[in-house]
Amino acid sequence: MDKIAVVKTGGKQYKVKQGDTIKIEKLDLEIEKKIKFDTLMVSGEDGKNLDLGKPSLGEKVEGKVVEQGKNKKISVVKYKNKTRYTRTKGHRQAFTKVLIEKIA
């Protein structure tokens, strides 16, 4: 029976289980480094044995950095009608890909 956990990092929450790969906000770590996540909830696959943190359970989820990179480019356009004002800008958000190895 696998465990499911909800972890918080980069101002966002992610539902993970062992063996999952998630893309999170960029962390300054090298590839193959271990990382522990602030865990908000741990549960069994069937929803039983729910362990809920108030506000957190500590660092119960471990992962390994697999990749550092940038997402696809998005274009941001500013436009004002009737004034000939147009600005175009591109952005590529940096990410860290993490493999979830263990949920305690």
> What is the per-residue DSSP string for 25-78?
E--S--TT-EEEEEEEEEEETTS-S-EE-SS--EEEEEEEEEEEEE---EEEEE
Q: Half-sphere exposure of 69 toward its Cβ, with a 13 Å CA cutoff?
A: 10
Amino acid at 87: R
What pTM was estimated for this model as a whole? 0.84
As given in the structure block, the two tokens for residue 17 are: 């289980």
Q: Which H or E run includes 12?
A: strand 12-17
Ordered by start, the domain boundaries in the chain are 3-69+95-103
User: What is the DSSP-derived secondary structure letter of residue 11?
Assistant: T
pLDDT digits (tens, 9 = 90+) for 55-96: 999 999 999 999 999 999 999 999 999 999 999 999 999 999
* CA–CA dist 45, 2 (Å, integer): 6
pLDDT digits (tens, 9 = 90+) for 3-20: 999 999 999 999 999 999
